[in-house]
Structure 1
Amino acid sequence: DSRLPLPVRNNLLDLFGQIEREFENLYIENLELRREIDSLNERLTADGQSTEGGDLIKGALKTKGTGYNHSTSQLSQKLKTTYKASTSKIVSSFKATTGSRAVCQLIKEYVGHRDGIWDLSVTQTQPVVLGTASADRSALLWSIETGQCLLRYAGHAGSVNSIKFHPTEQMALTASGDQTAHIWRYLVQLPAPQPLSDVNVPCDDDQDVSDREEGEVDGEGPCEVPTIRVATATLKSHQGVVIAGDWLVGGRQVVTASWDRAANLYEVETSELVHTLTGHDQELTHCCTHPTQRLVVTASRDTTFRLWDFRDPSIHSVNVFQGHTDTVTAAVFTVGDNVVSGSDDRTVKVWDLKNMRSPIATIRTDSAVNRISVSTNQRIIALPHDNRLVRLFDMNGMRLARLPRSNRMGHRRMVCCTAWNDENQLCNLFTCGFDRQAISWNINIPALLQEK
């Protein structure tokens, strides 16, 4: 913050630099461990090859003069089986999907924010544009085809943590660290399309994941674009950071989630607070509304997410979903009766709204999961990870693909959010991260692969 004394700012920058370097070192160590695990697994599965542990056991048994041959083979096999069982979950996260013919094409990189991008969304109305919400206190609207920044919203005094578009009108809802949510109108004109990049690679690309130098994408902000600085409506009832917001079906009400442990329901036309949804024990991290029904889910650091039902004006039933062991970072509806939740406990769970006792599918990963999204048409879950990767799974928990990440493409810091754009056959998935860029992808997953 420019209001801080210069020595304090320099000290903070130095400390953050040290933290980033520590994360870089940990990431490199993790890569080395992955290679060692793969190497050990190959040695263990090779025909007729014993483990080092087996050799040690052989030596010990030989020294004691016991039944060497029979006992050794049993113990060696037991050690091999135990080792494989203990590492199978880890190794499965690193292996490419067998027989995968999924193809990922990087379409565009949207560069211009001065700080990390927390959230992104695609408009449901014409013209279709991409919106991004950033820690640099701004929200930007982009041309999907050209990558050109079309408009800047600069009405917040804090980090912009979320952006969602009205279902039928040219209005956006943004949530901010300044303890408010803003509703603002926009009007954009799309530029003439330009040739798209042609980077066509298989998913689960195993290229070297070494990074470019940090700061290579350090855009000084987009060129001069129209800027909106005053909101149409300001929602002020929270007592803490507003971390997320969404429109209820019909667009006449919005819901916001805050670090004050509550979610608020507002009338759009009057900005009136209608309901305060309380019950979570810790800060909220996310909220989402059902696309066709008056249902809301809120996620929290208390390891739960809650379903709120506003279909009957006189009854606001609450169901609590308890299945995670760490912060629930996101919970989203699918078309139908499912909710998908992601967590810092490195799992994603698929739930049936008719039976909340246990998930119908659990996806285990090797990194914390951030704001997930589910494709409406293909019912594919896109998982953004702290470890810079994006993975795709079906609703049954089967891994379909991993987006390529190398020194030439992909995110170079944690991926914060994914968003599907099912109406666009070319750019059907968007990702954003703390490397200050958003990326559009074309994901082509054959039906046969999804049915496996």
Structure 2
Amino acid sequence: MPTDNINKAASSKTKAILTSRRGREHGSMSTSVNRYDSDTDGQLPYPVRSRLNELFSQIEKEFETIYLENQSLQEKVEALQERLDSYSGVLEKHGGETQDTVDVGPSVKQPKRSSQLSQKIKTTYKASTSKIVSSFRQASPAYSVVREFTGHRDGVWEVSIARTNQSYIGTASADHSARLWDIESGQCTLQYCGHQGSVNAIRFHPSQELVLTASGDGMAHIWRAQINAPSHDTVKLHHSSGEDEIDGSEKEEAVEEQTDSKVTEISTLRTPNRELGGHMGVVIAADWMAGGSQVITASWDRTAILFDTESGDQVSMLSGHDLELTDVRAHSSQKLVVTSSKDTTFRLWDFRDPNMPVSVFQGHTQPVTTARFARQDKVVSGSDDRTVKVWDLKNMRSPIATIRLDSAINRLSVSPNQNIIAIPHDNRHIRLYDINGNRIGRLPRSNRLGHGKMVCSVDWAEENTLCNLFSCSFDRQVLGWHINLQTKE
């Protein structure tokens, strides 16, 4: 339909504009114009470049406005369609009863009997509808937002749960920082500012209080989480956005938040324990290998590199993808790695064999944005082709389940105990499916609930009783959800 076509075009344009920011943050790694560069950094005079930046900003805002308007229209159409389907079902049910109960009698009596049956249908239909509406009002919500984590000054690319202590989460942001948050209080306990570019991924060590971050500056850093200990520097920050990077209504909202918010002391760490270099482009993701003695990084230079964490030396370089990598995930207990790529494939690397065999999965038609392991030797992959596929490592020729959706997929998460797939979308939705591809529900989203821009990443925390799912978005927010997995939508 026309609305869907407009949504698709607007979504693609918006995502291209937003995601291009991951790698343009640092020095020679960037090929785009920076509005804060001096006149000597480029060939164009400063006034010209400033005007171009302003025009590009207006274009980006216009695309985003069109996208949001069409999403709103599409949701209204979906809601009306659902109501129409439910009403049609009730009418069909009572219509069948009418045909079964009508007697063909004398012609003089038929109009009266037909009128009585019609009135009976109306009464029954009204009662059924009232009962359905009443049940909707009385039902307790299956999904709710419990915590909001605000403070980043730019979009948040990834959220990750601490493995050693599931009362903490970590976030990676385009504002060049990573943060640790206490789930109970919702406060930031530590921010890491050691990178010179957008922080694209954050992952926790499986057994120690160490954190791994990947950045647009071409580096991956290992630094100490210091969850229970203060760091060297302490600064006072307001939980609001910087005015130098926003304008219009967003700036007014930020001023209101800054007026009402309390000044909070946040520990700041600037020096990593280990710097991992070697890539020739943006490091888009990094993860700990099983055991935590090695890490694997993925880059826009189309390679992945295996590092030794103690020495920082390269152990192996993985090449073979035809285009930029988008994500990397390591198996929690075995020496297996999956790398996702814009070349429409993801690859399984087996480090258990000295020959390191590689399996290529070719089930998607557009860039694979995410692929991660699920229990029972399965891999779940998501793509810009609007599908999520579940694969069995014992039979990799075709997926065992395919979930078809209405928007591009970002970094998904699979709950370790119940195998529930949480799927974040470009259209601001978060959908839940089981490992067999059966729909469980969709997290609510409105002006007061949910995210205002594309959802970049989600992560499960089943052991946490307060919030068991976390999501982050380019609206600069991180949300903690309580999901009642026993109640289906």
* Deviation of the 1:28 alpha carbon: 1.5
* Deviation of the 1:214 alpha carbon: 4.5
* Deviation of the 1:227 alpha carbon: 1.1
1:118 aligns with 2:157: yes
Q: Look up the SS of the partner of 1:326 in the other structure.
A: coil
Q: Which residue of 1 aligns with 2:349?
A: 308
1:67-117 deviations in whole A, cap 9, x for unaligned? xxxxxxxxxxxxxxxxxxxxxxxxxxxxxx9xx987112111100001000
1:15-74 deviations in whole A, cap 9, x for unaligned? 223322222223312432454466578779959x9xxxxxxxxxxxxxxxxxxxxxxxxx
Q: Which residue of 2 aligns with 1:287?
A: 328
1:342-366 deviations in whole A, cap 9, x for unaligned? 0000110000001111111111111
Structure 2 distance, partners of 1:353, 1:261, is 24
- Which of 199, 216, 227 is 2:268 aligned to? 227
Structure 2 distance, partners of 1:230, 1:146, is 26
Q: Look up the SS of the partner of 1:16 in the other structure.
A: helix
* Deviation of the 1:9 alpha carbon: 4.6
1:212-264 deviations in whole A, cap 9, x for unaligned? 96554687898441111111111111000000000001000000000000000
* Deviation of the 1:190 alpha carbon: 8.7
* Deviation of the 1:184 alpha carbon: 0.8
1:299 aligns with 2:340: yes
- Which of 52, 69, 80 is 1:28 aligned to? 69
Aligned residues: CA RMSD: 2.8
Relative to 1, partners in 2 of residues 1:217 and 1:307: Cα closer, same or farther, differing over 3 Å? farther
- Which of 154, 158, 161 is 2:200 aligned to? 161
Structure 1 distance, partners of 2:81, 2:142, is 30
* Deviation of the 1:126 alpha carbon: 3.5
- Which of 289, 302, 319 is 1:278 aligned to? 319
Structure 2 distance, partners of 1:180, 1:400, is 39
Q: Which residue of 2 aligns with 1:333?
A: 373
Q: Look up the SS of the partner of 2:266 in the other structure.
A: coil
Aligned-partner residue type, residue 386 of structure 1: D
Structure 1 distance, partners of 2:53, 2:164, is 42
Structure 2, unmatched stretches of 5+, are: 1-33, 40-45, 92-135, 231-247
Tell me, yes or no, if the aligned pair for 1:117 and 1:436 is still in contact at 8 Å. yes
Q: Superposed, which structure 2 residues align to 1:373-384 within 5 Å? A: 373-384=413-424
- Which of 475, 481, 484 is 1:435 aligned to? 475
Relative to 1, partners in 2 of residues 1:40 and 1:440: Cα closer, same or farther, differing over 3 Å? closer
- Which of 37, 40, 64 is 1:3 aligned to? 37
Tell me, yes or no, if the aligned pair for 1:297 and 1:307 is still in contact at 8 Å. yes
Tell me, yes or no, if the aligned pair for 1:102 and 1:400 is still in contact at 8 Å. no
1:275-303 deviations in whole A, cap 9, x for unaligned? 10000000000000111100000000000
Relative to 1, partners in 2 of residues 1:399 and 1:237: Cα closer, same or farther, differing over 3 Å? same
Structure 1 distance, partners of 2:160, 2:81, is 42
Aligned residues: 380
Structure 2 distance, partners of 1:297, 1:275, is 15
1:393 aligns with 2:433: yes
Structure 2 distance, partners of 1:116, 1:352, is 34
1:249 aligns with 2:283: no
Q: Which residue of 2 aligns with 1:56?
A: none
Structure 1 distance, partners of 2:418, 2:141, is 13
Relative to 1, partners in 2 of residues 1:393 and 1:269: Cα closer, same or farther, differing over 3 Å? same
Tell me, yes or no, if the aligned pair for 2:184 and 2:466 is still in contact at 8 Å. no
- Which of 205, 214, 230 is 1:175 aligned to? 214
Tell me, yes or no, if the aligned pair for 1:349 and 1:360 is still in contact at 8 Å. yes
**What's the TM-score, normalizing by structure 1?**
0.78
1:240 aligns with 2:281: yes
- Which of 427, 446, 455 is 1:406 aligned to? 446
Structure 2 distance, partners of 1:41, 1:429, is 27
Relative to 1, partners in 2 of residues 1:35 and 1:438: Cα closer, same or farther, differing over 3 Å? closer
Tell me, yes or no, if the aligned pair for 1:109 and 1:439 is still in contact at 8 Å. yes
* Deviation of the 1:396 alpha carbon: 1.1
Relative to 1, partners in 2 of residues 1:437 and 1:39: Cα closer, same or farther, differing over 3 Å? closer
Q: Superposed, which structure 2 residues align to 1:139-150 within 5 Å? A: 139-150=178-189
Q: Look up the SS of the partner of 1:188 in the other structure.
A: coil
Relative to 1, partners in 2 of residues 1:361 and 1:172: Cα closer, same or farther, differing over 3 Å? same
1:166-186 deviations in whole A, cap 9, x for unaligned? 111111000000001001113
Tell me, yes or no, if the aligned pair for 1:217 and 1:435 is still in contact at 8 Å. no
Tell me, yes or no, if the aligned pair for 1:127 and 1:190 is still in contact at 8 Å. no
- Which of 55, 59, 68 is 1:18 aligned to? 59
Structure number, greater radius of gyration: 2
Structure 2 distance, partners of 1:441, 1:46, is 34
1:359 aligns with 2:393: no
Structure 2 distance, partners of 1:27, 1:226, is 37
Q: Which residue of 1 aligns with 2:113?
A: none
Tell me, yes or no, if the aligned pair for 1:101 and 1:445 is still in contact at 8 Å. no
Q: Which residue of 1 aligns with 2:238?
A: none
1:343 aligns with 2:404: no
Relative to 1, partners in 2 of residues 1:4 and 1:17: Cα closer, same or farther, differing over 3 Å? farther
Structure 1, unmatched stretches of 5+, are: 50-96, 192-211
Structure 2 distance, partners of 1:9, 1:127, is 45
Aligned-partner residue type, residue 227 of structure 2: V
Aligned-partner residue type, residue 370 of structure 2: A
Relative to 1, partners in 2 of residues 1:42 and 1:143: Cα closer, same or farther, differing over 3 Å? closer
Q: Which residue of 1 aligns with 2:131?
A: none
- Which of 104, 118, 129 is 2:168 aligned to? 129
Tell me, yes or no, if the aligned pair for 1:285 and 1:330 is still in contact at 8 Å. yes
